[in-house]
Structures are given as structure tokens and as C-alpha cells.
């Protein structure tokens, strides 16, 4: 089948990676919140949703007065999986690539602290004479956090590898 201009523009819109406007990011947040709210209802989990736009991304947080209410879904792997299916739902609705971030019960802050601890252990290895220290494979979002932490500590980091094996290496500046 030959793509007509109508189909071609529809296809290119589905893969549009042009930076989103604040208005578009707010729309992403609203769509994501509706999707997450539906999932929480199905799972009979009580949680409040908070929406924000930061650093060119829509952020959706699921918070609960009782941390135990969201504890089962606050595991980092579960949050990552829920974030991915939420992104797909947003992309299907908007036709635009989404860089949405989902946080459940403060899991992102906890993960950022874990990443800071990993960076600190890598720096100890460098202080002990290693020329570089490799960190485990992680998502692009987590690698970005690591690069920021490494930079704050006065060191240099680079990402290596492909796909799920992509990881960060820390060196002296």
C-alpha cells in the first residue's frame, strides 16, 4: 500500500519528537492521570494524583496518606512498567512521543538516593586508584540523573552500550 500524504502526516505525527509546549505537557498529564486513576480503581487502590510540568516533562505523582496503600505498586520495576504503559496510552491519545515521568509513593526520590549512593561508591573506587567505575545498566532517565549527580560531585560520566545493556561509566575530570 502506498502512503498518501494523509497517512504520511498521521504516521509522522505519531513519532513527533518536537519538544512539547507547556500546554501539551499539561494535556499529557491530564491524560496520564485519567489512565492511572482508572488503573487504581481497577486495583482498588486509594491514591491522590498530583500533576506538574518540570524540565520539559509531564510529571504525575500518586500519593497516599497511608504509604501502605500504594506500597505494592511503588517498587521501582513496577513504577517503570506502569510509566511505560501510561506513556503508550498518552502517545495513542495525543499522537506525540511522551517523556512522561510517573512517581508512586515517593519512589522516584528513593531511587534518586539509591543512584547517589551508587555514584558515591563509584567515587570511592576512583579514590582507591581505579581509572574508572562502571555502574549497572539503567533507563535513560536514571542515567540522566546519574550524569547530573556525577557532575555535581566534580567527576565525568559517559554512557556506553545499547538498549537494556546501556550503562554509565564514571571517571575523574
Give all domains of the chain, ordered by start, each with its CATH number. 5-105 (3.30.300.20), 109-172 (3.30.1370.50)
Q: pTM for this one?
A: 0.73
pLDDT at 68: 84
Q: Helix 76-94 and helix 22-43: axis angle, to 10°? A: 120
pLDDT at 6: 39
Q: What is the mean pLDDT of residues 52-66?
A: 91
**pLDDT-based confidence at 76, cuts 50/70/90?**
confident
User: Beta partners for 61?
Assistant: 50, 103
**pLDDT-based confidence at 2, cuts 50/70/90?**
very low
pLDDT at 15: 55
Q: Which residue has the higher pLDDT, 7 or 56?
A: 56
pLDDT at 16: 66
Q: What is the pLDDT of residues 116-171, one digit of tens each?
A: 999 999 999 999 999 999 999 998 889 999 999 999 999 999 999 999 899 999 99
Q: What is the pLDDT of residues 3-17, one digit of tens each?
A: 433 334 444 444 567
Provide, for the chain, the percentages of residues in helix, strand and coil under a 3-state DSSP scheme, each rounded to the nearest 5: 55, 20, 25
Amino acid at each position: 500500500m502506498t502512503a498518501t500524504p494523509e497517512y504520511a502526516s498521521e504516521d509522522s505525527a505519531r513519532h513527533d519528537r518536537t519538544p512539547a509546549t507547556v500546554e501539551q505537557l499539561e494535556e499529557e498529564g491530564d491524560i496520564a492521570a485519567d489512565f492511572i486513576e482508572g488503573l487504581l480503581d481497577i486495583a482498588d487502590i486509594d491514591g491522590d494524583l498530583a500533576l506538574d510540568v518540570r524540565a520539559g516533562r509531564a510529571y504525575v505523582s500518586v500519593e497516599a496518606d497511608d504509604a501502605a496503600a500504594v506500597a505494592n505498586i511503588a517498587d521501582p520495576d513496577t513504577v517503570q512498567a506502569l510509566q511505560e504503559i501510561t506513556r503508550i496510552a498518552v502517545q495513542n491519545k495525543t499522537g506525540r512521543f511522551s517523556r512522561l515521568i510517573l512517581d508512586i509513593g515517593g519512589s522516584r526520590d528513593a531511587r534518586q538516593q539509591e543512584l547517589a549512593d551508587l555514584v558515591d561508591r563509584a567515587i570511592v573506587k576512583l579514590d582507591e586508584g581505579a581509572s574508572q567505575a562502571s555502574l549497572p545498566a539503567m533507563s535513560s532517565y536514571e542515567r540522566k540523573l546519574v550524569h547530573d549527580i556525577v557532575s555535581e560531585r566534580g567527576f565525568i560520566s559517559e554512557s556506553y552500550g545499547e538498549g537494556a545493556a546501556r550503562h554509565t561509566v564514571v571517571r575523574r575530570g
